[in-house]
Structure 1
Amino acid sequence: MAGAAAQDDAEQLLHLKLAFLAGEPPACILALARYALPLAVKIATAPKVYGRQNSTYTTTIFKRIISEVELSSDIVIDALYEEFAQRMLSKAKDSLLNKTNHIYKEISFLSSTHDNVSSSLISVVARLSCSSNMLEGDTGCSLWPSSLFLSEFILSYPEIFSTKCCFELGSGVGLVGICLNYVGASKVILTDGDTSTLTNMKENMELNNVCIKLEDFEELKESKNKVECKYLSWEEASESDLRGYQPDIVLGADIVYDPVCVPHLVRVLSMLLRRDSKQGEVNRKSGDELEMDGPVAYIATVVRNAETFNCFAKAAADAKLSAINIGSSTAPSNFLPYMLSYDRSSVQLLKITLSS
């Protein structure tokens, strides 16, 4: 019994630490901490945990934890007050330097099978610079649930993506690209139509020690790097621009959001999925949903507006694209149990192919 209790404590502490590093909302951090007080004090006083976090975020977490401990009638150790004071000073300094617009996050994907709790359970860690306020229009630098879902899908079915050329539309912070690189995709092309998002994406690839280049479009076609970041405007993209890539798999997370962009998105998908000659390949034999007889797209999306989604479905059908929801039949493993704010049930996963 003592061993099981110790394992539970270790798991709670690990989840609390990972949630903090992932920048989970304060309410989610406190929900996890309530299971483990005074373990929460340990996480709050470990400098290596919050070393790169946004000072406004860490200050809020410290304040909430101190209040929680005080309300529980536990003694707040001096070190916690001291660290809170240090975070307040850092917050003031960052404000003067105008460094509060982005927040550093570490998204740790846990192994799906394990017998005990330790850091070795973490299969891959993605280090990301993200927007601290998506409401200010910095949506391309925000982390969306569909990106988390698509990343879990890639890690759940690595055999689909290994040794394949993968092309992502609207890559944002680059989380999906990091996971594709991890599972052994032969080539990863990350694209976005916003230059500031593209710059942040490149910095995130470098942060994760992924070899990339951000260059002229024509030079990228000849690049030997495994991961490439490029500017791609759906409105301006031509067939000649995309002909040299011929990806095996096209991916996208939360890219069905604006009815104005839908016709351009469908046109780009059609061009990327069109292949003059390609030998059919099969990644899995366990179900039709994951068979691949040619280029295929996997689009993860949250249906926030039914009218916009229906607009996409109609445009795809008119372009002779077959789109089926495979989210239920091929649900990914839960690699992010500590992210309480992530609602995977809200995400649909579409498999899109050219109609025969």
Structure 2
Amino acid sequence: MQKYSICTLEKRLVTARDIACARAVCLGTCSEPNETFQKVSGGLPTLLVGLLSDAYVQWQEFFQLTRDMGQRASFCKSEEVRALQRVLTILAKVSSLDTTLGEEIGRAGSQTILSRLMEEIKVSTCIVETDGSCEEDFDALMDLQDAACEIYVTGKRGVVAFTDEKLTSRLPLLYNLRPADSENVTITDATTILIHQVAKRQTAQADVGYLMWPSAIVLSRWLLSNVHVLKNKTILEIGAGCGLVGILAATIVKKYNTSDQVIITDVNNTVLENIARNINVNDVSSIASVSKLDFYQQSGDNHAGKWIAGEFGGISEKQCAPVDVILAADIICQPDDAVAAAKTIYDALIPGGAAYVVCANEKHRFGVGMFAGECQSLNLHVKSTDVKDMYDGGLLTECMNTAAGFVDGMTLTFFEVYKTKL
């Protein structure tokens, strides 16, 4: 297995996005331009645990040597102690930024090494306290103990390490999205978005946001072809699920260095926590935020515009200002959803605002056929287009098969919904 220097890992594993990309590269599912990492059996967890094992063995041998020879003065400033401290810092950081990787590191053997390390530090601390060693030695051991404990309490010990196949299934989905119209757009390069799905099993209708759905991919590609609809606008994604559309919108806003904000909402607390994770891994936390929005709490009678954000993350229920643009993908699963979604759009839009909604058709999503009529009953103007007729079918892409519920021949409708001005 290729060895990586501590310095290299400190420089390359800085953000949640860095870590997610390194996990994918080490499993061979994607490449990176500078080729820092390479495919390795066991992936990034095995690489990091190997680094920990090497640093631990070197520290163990050095500590034994200094104790036997009485060379205590050099202990706290030794390369072995500093190297182990740096490795522990790396593991603590990556485990905090990517809890999935933290679990994988534990299953790959870090917990066993950390247990031995912490036990030996206890013994070493007693020796240092009784043999007249300097205070710096004691402090160095306490720093190691604290770092080891931090990693240990957040990790999980497993009987065996995850297989490469299982590790690959735990990676975030990677979407290299391009505009459907390559001739009349301002963003021509691929925009890469990483999306974690919720690992828990779906047990209720409210859990549909645990997984990616095909309409989100279509709406995201449409936004890349129509970035003008986001410029100088306040933006709200409703029924966001994994948050691809809102995060893509935030990424576009970030490229233009505007002060626009994107609010990404759902009703399920677990889904909202996952959206927050996806915001972080895509480096758009300065632009995108998470709020709780329940379609069924919105009244549908606020022409001036206001919507109710539910209690979440220590923030109490509150009324929120309307927005210029609403984005929504696959938000209707039953007839009542069509009614509630129309009311939500009416309340949350400013007069003169627009909503862009993509849904699979009635055959695949019950209630979608009612949506346009429910919007019109609230005096919202609706234009409906079959997605396959847009950009010569260019919005439909092969990566849609990564989404839950996608079937060959699935038809989708694009709704443009406009609210009249006062």
For 2:175 and 2:261, how far apart are their aligned partners in 1?
A: 22
Q: Which residue of 2 aligns with 1:130?
A: 197
Matched, 1:91 2:167: no
For residues 150 and 134 of structure 1, do their structure 2 counterparts lie closer, same or farther at Cα, with a shift above 3 Å needed?
A: farther
For residues 95-124 of structure 1, the C-alpha deviation after alignment (integer angstroms, 9 at most, x for no partner) is 9xxx9996521112247799xxxxxx8521
Secondary structure of 1:90's counterpart equals coil
Contact conserved, 1:156 with 1:332, CA < 8 A, in 2?
no
In the alignment, residue 249 of structure 1 is paired with which amino acid? V
Contact conserved, 1:191 with 1:230, CA < 8 A, in 2?
yes
For residues 47 and 126 of structure 1, do their structure 2 counterparts lie closer, same or farther at Cα, with a shift above 3 Å needed?
A: farther
Q: Which residue of 1 aligns with 2:249?
A: 180
For residues 112 and 147 of structure 1, do their structure 2 counterparts lie closer, same or farther at Cα, with a shift above 3 Å needed?
A: closer
Secondary structure of 1:268's counterpart equals helix
Contact conserved, 1:149 with 1:300, CA < 8 A, in 2?
yes
Aligned length: 245
For residues 330 and 270 of structure 1, do their structure 2 counterparts lie closer, same or farther at Cα, with a shift above 3 Å needed?
A: farther
Q: Which residue of 1 aligns with 2:381?
A: 322
Matched, 1:258 2:334: yes
Secondary structure of 2:336's counterpart equals coil
CA drift at 1:226: 2.2
1:81-120 mapped onto 2 (5 Å cutoff)? 90-91=161-162, 103-110=171-178
Secondary structure of 1:183's counterpart equals helix
For residues 228 and 90 of structure 1, do their structure 2 counterparts lie closer, same or farther at Cα, with a shift above 3 Å needed?
A: same
For residues 344 and 269 of structure 1, do their structure 2 counterparts lie closer, same or farther at Cα, with a shift above 3 Å needed?
A: farther
For 1:299 and 1:111, how far apart are their aligned partners in 2?
A: 17
201-210 or 313-322: bigger deviation:
313-322
CA drift at 1:230: 0.2
Contact conserved, 1:162 with 1:183, CA < 8 A, in 2?
no
In the alignment, residue 108 of structure 1 is paired with which amino acid? N
Q: Percent identity?
A: 19
Contact conserved, 1:190 with 1:230, CA < 8 A, in 2?
yes
184-193 or 150-159: bigger deviation:
184-193
For residues 47 and 157 of structure 1, do their structure 2 counterparts lie closer, same or farther at Cα, with a shift above 3 Å needed?
A: farther
For residues 202-245 of structure 1, the C-alpha deviation after alignment (integer angstroms, 9 at most, x for no partner) is 0110111111xxxxxxxxxxxxx521110111222465545743
Contact conserved, 2:327 with 2:356, CA < 8 A, in 1?
yes
Q: Which residue of 2 aligns with 1:65?
A: none
For residues 110 and 90 of structure 1, do their structure 2 counterparts lie closer, same or farther at Cα, with a shift above 3 Å needed?
A: farther
For 2:172 and 2:164, how far apart are their aligned partners in 1?
A: 17
For 1:312 and 1:258, how far apart are their aligned partners in 2?
A: 10
In the alignment, residue 292 of structure 2 is paired with which amino acid? Y
For 1:133 and 1:233, how far apart are their aligned partners in 2?
A: 21
For 2:271 and 2:44, how far apart are their aligned partners in 1?
A: 24
Q: Which residue of 1 aligns with 2:137?
A: none
Matched, 1:166 2:235: yes
For 2:42 and 2:244, how far apart are their aligned partners in 1?
A: 21
1:136-151 mapped onto 2 (5 Å cutoff)? 136-137=203-204, 138-151=207-220
For 2:399 and 2:250, how far apart are their aligned partners in 1?
A: 24
Larger CA Rg, structure 1 vs 2: 2
Contact conserved, 1:111 with 1:335, CA < 8 A, in 2?
no
Is there any run of 5+ residues in structure 1 with no aligned partner, and where?
1-17, 22-28, 30-44, 56-87, 115-120, 212-224, 276-293
State the TM-score, normalized to the length of structure 2. 0.49
For residues 297 and 241 of structure 1, do their structure 2 counterparts lie closer, same or farther at Cα, with a shift above 3 Å needed?
A: closer
The structure showing larger relative contact order (alpha-carbon pairs under 8 Å, at least 6 residues apart) is 1
Kindly indicate which of the two structures has a greater share of residues assigned to helix.
2
Q: Which of 369, 374, 377 is the matching residue for 1:310?
A: 369
Matched, 1:269 2:345: yes
For 1:335 and 1:307, how far apart are their aligned partners in 2?
A: 21
Matched, 1:299 2:357: yes
State the TM-score, normalized to the length of structure 1. 0.57
